[in-house]
Structure 1
Amino acid sequence: MLDDTHRIIAGSVLLSVIGIAYGGTFLLRVVRGHAPANPLQKSFFRAGHAHAGVLVILGLLVMVLVQSNDVAQPWATLSTGVLLAAIFVPAGFFLSVASKDPQQPNRLAP
């Protein structure tokens, strides 16, 4: 079904789910007040975490569907864009409120 390269990519992406799950424990600490964060940071952390989880699963699904249906180039290559979005979209949420006490998102905001 998947060639060797895509198996390695799928395995790496599945391992990243561990990082996303660990981020969920951090998010719980923030929401419960055990980690300092203002309301803007809380909402951006929550949005970044949710986007990461959804885009990783969507990226895996798109990769498997593209590989199993022998989609022609360049569309097959563009399917990796979903996996790249799983990195860059949540990073925008997290990095835009990375300062100590931001009152508004910085230029990295989506």
Structure 2
Amino acid sequence: MLQPASAITAGIVVLAVITIAYGGTFMLRVVTGKQGANDLQKSFFRAGHAHAGVLVILGLVVLLLLDAAGITGWAHFGADGVLVSAILIPAGFFLSVIGHDPQRPNGVKALIWIGFGLLTVSLLVAGIGLIVAGANALS
């Protein structure tokens, strides 16, 4: 059973998926040529959209796993961190190529690396939390 805070988080994330779906309509306009974009922008927009979808699903799965294992406290940072990285990484991809015909990404691409670092730490915390919970349940 989901903890109340996890249920609220999951509900917010499920509603936020609407923005990813809307991003899909944007991607359709880009790839069909109805929305102007150079090759760099097309690549970064595709990467941003893909990362958003995958990381939201991963964040919800981690949230469910932590709740199913009865994990509370510090290890729950794992799920929250994955979900925050699902915002930072795509934002870095999209916002770093905003503008008319950019030739290279701007400094906002740092969000990609910040998000990747947060994702790594979050997965470490969640994974270790799950292993510890499992080991404790065995004893």
TM-score, normalised via structure 2 length: 0.75
Deviations 1:3-61 (A, max 9, x none): 22211110110111111011001101000100011110000000000000000000000
TM-score, normalised via structure 1 length: 0.94
CA distance in 1, matches of 2:33, 2:82: 33
CA distance in 2, matches of 1:75, 1:5: 14
Runs of 4+ that moved beyond 4 A: none
Instruction: Please show how residues 61-100 of structure 1 align to structure 2 within 5 Å.
Output: 61-71=61-71, 73-100=73-100
The alpha-carbon distance between structure 1 residues 71 and 3, as it changes in their structure 2 partners (threshold 3 A), is closer
Indicate the SS of the match to 2:42: helix
Structure 1 spans left out of the alignment, 5+ residues = none
CA distance in 2, matches of 1:40, 1:101: 9
Aligned residues: 110
Identity of aligned residues (%): 58
Q: CA RMSD in A?
A: 1.1
Structure 2 spans left out of the alignment, 5+ residues = 113-139
CA distance in 1, matches of 2:60, 2:79: 10
